[in-house]
Structure 1
Amino acid sequence: MLIEEGTKYQISQEIKSYYNSAEELTVVRNNGITVQFTLGDGKGYGSMPIEHLHYLLKRSNLSLIPNKKALLNNNEEKIG
């Protein structure tokens, strides 16, 4: 899975306490080894190895929040 800057993830209930009880995590920078992120509602920031982010996604501790632009493009393709 490609981890891009600006991608938002919903944080599951099980691990919220590790992330200052934030609802979401937004990727700020990805250098291929480490991912830097900010937490929703100004609850902080941090970084983690990209392998750990993939692990959290695999375990469903993080789930992708689709951005509105991607949803609009997808709907336009279905209509056209």
Structure 2
Amino acid sequence: MTIEVGTKYQISKEIKSIYNSADTLTVTRLNGATVQFTLGDGKGYGAMPKQHLEYLLKRTDLTEVTNKRMMLKSEQSEKDIV
């Protein structure tokens, strides 16, 4: 899975307390091996090694939130194919 700027992740309840009880984490910048992010509801910001973010995704402590606009766009593309 590739990590991109603007990607939003849902934080699992098991690790929410580590992230100021925020529900979401959004990637704001990729800087080499470091990922910078903001927390949902204005609960803060931070940075972590890219490898650690990949680990959290693998453990499903973070799950990607599907962007509704992208979902609608992909549905439209599927209709165009038929």
State the TM bucket, normalised to the shorter chain.
over 0.9
The C-alpha deviation readout for 1:34-61, integer Å capped at 9, x for no partner, is: 0000000000000000000000000000
Residue in 1 aligned with 2:75?
75
TM-score by length of 2: 0.93
1:32-51 to structure 2, matched below 5 A, reads: 32-51=32-51
Q: Gaps (5+ residues) in structure 2?
A: none
TM-score by length of 1: 0.95
Q: Gaps (5+ residues) in structure 1?
A: none
Structure 2 residue matching 1:13: 3-state secondary structure? coil
Identity %: 62
The C-alpha deviation readout for 1:11-68, integer Å capped at 9, x for no partner, is: 0000000000000000000123000000000000000000000000000000000112
Aligned alpha-carbon RMSD (Å) = 0.8
- Give the number of aligned pairs: 80
2:26 matches 1:26:
yes
